[in-house]
Amino acid sequence: MQKKTHESINNRLALVMKSGKYTLGYKTVLKSLRSSKGKLIIIANNCPPLRKSEIEYYAMLCKVGVHHYNGNNVDLGTACGKYFRVCCLSIIDPGDSDIIKSMPGDH
């Protein structure tokens, strides 16, 4: 049951990478939250707890959903189709994906 939802997150994320707008990385995630452009934040599970709390606090102020990805930053980078590690990412425009509609209910 968990494997299935995990794959579906990966599929949705791949669709966002292809068709939507996103930013990767802590600095740009905070920037997108400050300018209220971010619609969903995804954080890897090995993100340092202080950084995780900080992103969650900003997201609470902006009323944006945060999804804790079931995998570390290496896995999240691979899920994004990148060859580097991604600890947190912000989805600005989901494109064709329905990740925004399905994820916050899940999380």
Partner 1 sequence: MVKFLKPNKAVIVLQGRYAGRKAVIVKSFDEGTRDRPYGHCLVAGIKKYPSKVIRKDSAKKTAKKSRVKCFVKLVNYQHLMPTRYTLDVDLKDAVTVDALQTKDKKVAACKATKARFEERFKTGKNRWFFTKLRF
Indicate the DSSP class of residue 39: S
- Tokens 């990805």 appear where? 69
Nearer to partner 1, 18 or 34 (CB): 34
Nearer to partner 1, 38 or 77 (CB): 38
Q: What's the min distance (Å) between Cβ of 85 and partner 1?
A: 22
Nearer to partner 1, 1 or 50 (CB): 50
Q: What's the min distance (Å) between Cβ of 25 and partner 1?
A: 14
Which residues sit at the interface with partner 1, rule CB under 8 A? Answer: 30, 34-36, 38-39, 54, 58, 60-64
Nearer to partner 1, 95 or 104 (CB): 104
Q: What's the min distance (Å) between Cβ of 60 and partner 1?
A: 7
Q: What's the min distance (Å) between Cβ of 22 and partner 1?
A: 15
Burial label for 14, CB within 10 Å (0-12, 13-18, 19+), is middle
3-class SS at 95?
coil
3-class SS at 51?
helix
Q: How many CB atoms lie within 10 A of CB 102?
A: 14
Strand duo 88-93 + 21-24: pairing: antiparallel
